[in-house]
Structure formats: structure tokens, C-alpha cells
Amino acid sequence: MTSAPGITELDLHLPDGRTLHVYQTENNDAFPMFWFHGTPNLGSPPGPLLEHAAKLGFRWVSCDRPAYGRSTPVPDRSVASAASDVKAIADHLGLDHFVVMGHSGGGPHALACAALLPDRVKAAVSLSGLAPFDAPGLDYFAGMHPSSVASLSAAAQGRAAKEAFEASAPEFDPEVFTPADHAALSGRWSWLNEVVEPALVAGPEGLIEDDLAYVKGWGFEPAQLKVPTLIVHGEEDRMVPVSHARWLATQVGHAELWANPEAGHIAILDLAPAALAWLKRQLWSDSTTGLSVLG
């Protein structure tokens, strides 16, 4: 994968010997926003949002999660481990405060940072994000496409079952996406193809670690989030049912839910520009940030 113009990359070497492959946009005077990629994706900031974010006064920072791209694998990592990785990146770049946004499997990781780094994260957005596997009162698989059920069910049976499932080379079922999703993937969100295919070049290890993390304890509770949080979801989502978003919205004390009746898992990204504007409003109302850059 070739970086988009205006994006720089670096390998951050951590004290434990690991490497995190980090991306950032070059508008260093803007307010930082961490992007959390889906499963399976690389971590490059979302191309369709680069210009819009810059106009709003944001810069993007992101990384490949462990076992994706050039980031070192971490077997049996948790969702919560994203917070320590983000802290290491923020410390290295000298970022005191930031906001977070994640799509799909990136949603839980964005929420983890908001919960576990409350002195640094000012607001959070989750788009099409999963709820915890053990969420009380949630029928986790209700409304989920059979291919997603099969993949996550294998993960719930443990590493051996998940590895065997991926080794069987399950065929992708296009019905997991709605017609609107397919239109987005072939048009305005075709960028996703640039981060999905390279994420699997070295094999499914990153995907396996992600799915195993989703179905075990996350390492935090959504109720721990105290920052303004926006939950965005499509009611036609077949990959992650909207019931996950509704459950999350009941658990996070400062959550706002945007449920779009016509959007699916990918088409919901059309609301991302509005979510960026929402983040700007949260920062403008936060007297601790001193964000004249967002005026």
C-alpha cells in the first residue's frame, strides 16, 4: 500500500521490543484525532475524510493494530490494550489531548481509549461498532448475517477453532452488505479496498487476534466512559446489528445515538463528516482544550 499524499509513516519501537506502525497527516498544528481501523484493515487514516477533517482543524493519527501490516503481533491481546499503544504513540508525538474515532472493529478500540485514558481523550465516535460479547440483555447474534455469526462463533470456541475456521478459507458472501453498502464500496468508499487487501497479504493473523479479542472480556466496561460519546449505526447493518449500538448507548453515560434507518455497515460512513463536525462541537464547548484552531 502506498501512502496518500500528506500522510507520513513511522515505526515506533516500544520498550517491550514491539513495533507499532504509525500514520499521521502532516497538518501538525491541527488538533489530533486517532483513527481505529476495522477488521481486517490496515490503519491508514480514512482517505475520503482527509480533506474534510483538515478543513475542520483536525489532523489524523493512527496505527496498524498488532499483527497487521508492520506492527508486531501480540497473541491474546485485549481490546483494552489499544489504550496503552495509543498512549505510547501520543507520548512519542507530544500529544496531550486528542479525540478518537473507530469504524466497525475499530469502534471498541476507540471506546477503550476513551474509557482508559480519560485525562487525554476529549470525545469519542464509534461507527458500526460491536458491543461486548457478554453484554447483559443483548442477543449478540440476533440480526447478524450467518457469515459473521460463523466467524465470531468460531472465535468464541477459542484460538484453535478460529484458526481452523480461517484455514478453511471461508468464501465471502456479498449478501453481508446491502446494495447501498456495495454502491459505497465501488464509489465514494472504494478506499476501503486499499486497506483490506494489504491487511491480509501476510495471512489472517490480525483478523484472528481481533475476533478473539472481541469475544472475550474487553478489559473495561462501556459504563466507564465519561467523555462525550457518539454512537453511529445503520439500522440495515447486517454485519453488526443496530442492537449493538442501542445497547452501547444505554451503557455509556454521555452517549448520543445516531441510528440511520437506511444505512448498512459501509454506507453509514457517509455520516462520518457529520460525526467530525460533532467532535468539533464537543471540543469547542470544552474549556480545557483552548482550541482556537477549531474556531
Other C-beta atoms within 10 Å of 164: how many? 11
**CA atoms of 42 and 199, how far apart (whole Å):** 5
**CA atoms of 59 and 234, how far apart (whole Å):** 26
* Diameter of the chain measured on Cα atoms: 54
**CA atoms of 272 and 223, how far apart (whole Å):** 24
75-90: pLDDT as tens digits? 999 999 999 999 999 9
**Where would I find the H helices in the chain?**
50-55, 81-93, 106-116, 146-156, 159-167, 179-186, 192-196, 205-214, 242-251, 272-284
CATH superfamily name and code, 7-286: Alpha/Beta hydrolase fold, catalytic domain (3.40.50.1820)
Is there a contact between 220 and 228 (Cβ–Cβ < 8 Å)? no
What number of residues does the chain have?
295
Position 261 scores a pLDDT of 98
Is there a contact between 122 and 291 (Cβ–Cβ < 8 Å)? no
Position 2 scores a pLDDT of 54
Is there a contact between 112 and 218 (Cβ–Cβ < 8 Å)? yes
Q: Which residues of the chain have pLDDT under 70?
A: 1-5, 287-295
100-130: pLDDT as tens digits? 999 999 999 999 999 999 999 999 999 999 9
Position 254 scores a pLDDT of 87
Our CA angle for 5, 42, 18, nearest 5°, is 105
Cβ neighbourhood burial of 168 (10 Å; 0-12, 13-18, 19+) = exposed
Handedness of CA 19, 279, 185, 51 (dihedral sign): negative
